[in-house]
Amino acid sequence: MTVLVAYGTTGGSTAEIAGWIAEELTAAGLGVRLLPAAEVDDVAGYEALVLGAAMYAAGWHADARHFAKRFAGRFADRPAWLFSSGPLDHTADDTDLPPNHQAEVAMGLLPARAHVTFGGRLTAEAHGWLGFVARRMEHEGHAGDFRNPERIRAWARGVATDIVAARQQA
Ligand SMILES: Cc1cc2nc3c(=O)[nH]c(=O)nc-3n(C[C@H](O)[C@H](O)[C@H](O)COP(=O)(O)O)c2cc1C
């Protein structure tokens, strides 16, 4: 029995969040497969899903959006959770930020039972166009790493507990 942890990332920070979640699920005794959402060909055989996406321009990363479309309806009988990562400030920790429209659509499609928003990361070390934007935003005081590993790991431990509970109900 394996849990799929899939993610859509451009700068790598959402991939790292997914990695922290995968570590907690593994520590809770669950089997875990950690994959970029675009590399998932099939979801048969997984007992649960965690799908995460970086937010860009008030949208959800295309790889995660496409994942939700490709596997629409496939999680009707298995638990699925979504997370978004993005805000470059502490609002995600201070308040319960709702899913944006595209994340909400993904929730309905799979379907998913819950969604959480985590802070994001944008630093001047980013490569390519992201680095260009990051350096400009840093100049304006909007860059930094606003991810909160402890909160993310605690959320993942809650997901692990719910997956085990879902097993017992099945
Ligand atoms: C051009 C651009 C647009 C962004 N738009 C949003 C946004 O609409 N909402 C948000 O919360 N974060 C936004 N962000 C912040 C990113 O979501 C954040 O940097 C995230 O951690 C990136 O994840 P990744 O490293 O996995 O790609 C934006 C960042 C950039 C560079």
Query: Where residue 57 sits, what CATH number does that domain have?
Result: 3.40.50.360
Distance 87 CA to ligand 1 centre (A): 7
The total of structural domains in the chain comes to 1
**What does the pLDDT read at residue 18?**
99
Strands 121-122 and 144-145: antiparallel
pTM: 0.96
Domain holding 83, by residue range, is 2-169
When pLDDT is averaged across residues 141-158 and rounded to a whole number, the result is: 95
Nearest CA to ligand 1 atom 2: 56
Distance 30 CA to ligand 1 centre (A): 30
Contacts of 12 by beta carbon, 8 Å cutoff, 6+ apart:
none
d(CA 11, CA 112) in angstroms, rounded, equals: 25
Q: What is the mean pLDDT of the chain?
A: 95
- Ligand 1-lining residues (CB < 6 angstroms): 9-14, 54-58, 85-88, 120-122, 130, 133
pLDDT, tens digit, 9 for 90 and up, residues 80-132: 999 999 999 999 999 999 999 999 999 999 999 999 999 999 988 888 888 88
The proportion of the chain whose per-residue pLDDT surpasses 70, expressed as a percent, equals 100
